[in-house]
Amino acid sequence: MRIARFTVADQIAYGVVDGDTDDMSTLTVNAIDGHPFAPFERTSARFPLSDVRLLPPVLPNKLIGIGKNYADHAREMGGEPPATPIMFLKPSTTVIGPNESVVLPEQSQQVEFEGEIAVVIGRLSREVPSERVSEVVLGYTCANDVTARDLQRSDGQWTRAKGFDTFCPLGPWIETEVDPDSLAVRTEVNGETRQSAPASDMVHSIADLVVFASSVMTLIPGDVILTGTPAGVGPLNDGDRVSVTVAGVGRLDHRVVVAAG
């Protein structure tokens, strides 16, 4: 099931996206009564996908990032894969939706893309055992963990580098019925593939990341875990068009602009 958050006629709602993603013109959004973190019912309201504006599929309380979770990316960053996941936080104000703009800040001269598989938490959870991970995950979406690489190096920690407004495009929807071990992520910039890797290349699996994160902090419905990026990260420039595709989930398109003023 594909769950989207959208706006139409100045109203914001959740809905189920129906149709064949191989033919986007067939897709419709069936509004639901309530929200996806509890039992819900479909309503009679249905709209062509082209008639609505997709919003970020969730507004997370927190975004939990995982660094260097693909061995090739860890090595391109100048190190070896960590034995224990490297965890950081991005503020909720980094989140933007499909077809919105990543804004390049004046403080950085080296902003880079990091296409990722994102996990959306579905229920309040703490210290989740590995055999119950599927019970606390609502589904999966696409993300770009945009990073000011020069600030990441100069600061010695990652809050500023990862935390600018617009630095986490999410979407286009949440796919609830997919095997996380079958997922793969691909990032394209201006139509050129820059990153591509299956989830099986992760140093720490998606299930292991949920277990690890929940051993540190309580996970709240709507929280997002960014599972790390493959090798191939690179610069973003004014006017770039970026897409992050997660096989079996969907494609997240967004653009890049320079900060005004």
Tell me the domains of the chain and their CATH numbers: 2-54 (2.30.30.370), 63-258 (3.90.850.10)
- Average pLDDT estimate for 115-127: 98
* pLDDT at position 102: 98
Find the radius of gyration of the CA atoms of the chain: 18
Phi, psi values for residue 62, rounded to 5°? -150, 150
**What pLDDT, on the 0 to 100 scale, is given for residue 224?**
98
pTM above 0.85, yes or no: yes
Nearest CA to 149 out of 94, 97, 176, 112 is that of: 112
pLDDT recorded at residue 208: 97
Distances (CA, A) of 27 to 41, 220, 229: 19, 30, 29
pLDDT of residue 261: 65
**pLDDT of 140:** 98
| pLDDT one-digit tens code per residue, 45-88 | 999 999 999 999 999 999 999 999 998 888 887 778 889 999 99
Structure tokens at 142: 């696409």
CA torsion sign for 183, 172, 214, 152 is positive
Average pLDDT, whole number, for the chain? 96
pLDDT at 24 over 90: no
For range 139-153, the mean pLDDT: 97
pLDDT for res 72: 86
Q: Report CA-CA distances (Å) from 260 to 98, 104, 198, 238, 257.
A: 21, 9, 37, 12, 9
